Amino acid sequence: MSRFIAEIYESVFQPGTNRSVVLATHMSFAALQATFVALLLATRSWHFVFLNAICGGLWAAVAWLINEVAKADLVEAEAQRLRELRKASEAGESVEENKEQAEEKKEL
């Protein structure tokens, strides 16, 4: 639990998101939805139906945005890999040498 909170705190100072922030986002929306359902059952007020629908739509939009950012990160990582391959081929290095160097970087 303390690691989870520490990762959320550290993510404030880093660009992008991490798994803990995404999980905390989904947990917050789930708790809000549960609260609205409980209030709807307790008060029988139709206002909570609309608030629940608005919350659900916002949750769906945030989940969509998180997925799109993840896709963009994958595309950018692939583009970076291709840039490095092109730079290596222009410098005269072989593709195999560049793959070995990339694997060594991943292991570190």
pLDDT tens, the chain, 108 aa long: 788 888 888 888 888 778 888 999 999 999 999 999 999 999 999 999 999 999 999 999 999 999 999 899 899 989 999 998 888 887 776 556 666 666 766 666
Q: What's the domain range around 71?
A: 2-107
pTM over 0.85: no
- Give the pLDDT of residue 12: 82
In total, how many domains does the chain have? 1
CA–CA distance from 98 to each of 75, 77, 80, 102 (Å)?
A: 20, 16, 13, 6
